[in-house]
Amino acid sequence: MSLVVGVGLSSGAEAQELSDLTGALLRQHGLDPRDVTTVATLDSRVHAPAVRGLATAMSAGVTGFPSGLLAAQDAPHPSAVVRSAVGTASVAEAAVLAAGATLVVPKTVLGRCTVAVGLHRSPGRRPPGTPEGLR
């Protein structure tokens, strides 16, 4: 099994805050953190310390998508607030979908972090648009 963790976060989100939320969601849904292969997010957040910290802790790659690509995804829980802030109504869920995964855990928001989880349709396949250096 290959999982994608979609991440949205506000400025100043802490690595521990994101890690705690992700770990709790995975446990709650019976998913193994060792199956996470990709942390997907908005391209402008790829180098955020919280995102990098989560990817490192999970031994996963990081993939960033432009807001236009995220906006084109059919995410089930759009937010007008997110749209006005970053140009797309969904980041976490849309990033899962943009990475070529099926959404299995809808977005959960806690503090400054939002997390959604998806299952890769083709295990072992690198998500589209993933630069080699980010894997």
Q: Is residue 126 part of a domain?
A: no
Residues 39-93 pLDDT 10s = 999 999 999 999 999 999 999 999 999 999 999 999 999 999 999 999 999 999 9
The overall pTM is greater than 0.75 = yes
Q: How far apart are CA 58 and CA 33, in angstroms?
A: 7
- CATH number at 97 reads 3.30.420.180
Q: Is residue 8 part of a domain?
A: no
Query: What residue ranges in 10-131 does DSSP mark as E strands?
Result: 36-42, 61-65, 101-110, 113-120
Q: Is residue 43 part of a domain?
A: yes
Say what the pLDDT of residue 11 is.
87
108 by DSSP, 3-state: which? strand
Q: How many domains does the chain have?
A: 1
Confidence at 122, pLDDT banded by 50, 70, 90: low
DSSP assignment string, 67-86: HHHHHTS--SS--HHHHHHH
- Identify the domain containing residue 90 by its residue range: 13-116
Q: Is residue 38 part of a domain?
A: yes
Residues 83-120 pLDDT 10s = 999 999 999 999 999 999 999 999 999 999 999 999 98
Q: How far apart are CA 3 and CA 131, in angstroms?
A: 18
Q: How far apart are CA 4 and CA 116, in angstroms?
A: 8
Distances from the Cα of 84 to the Cα of 78, 97, 110, angstroms: 11, 21, 19
The residue type found at 114 is T
- Residue 45 structure tokens: 């957040």
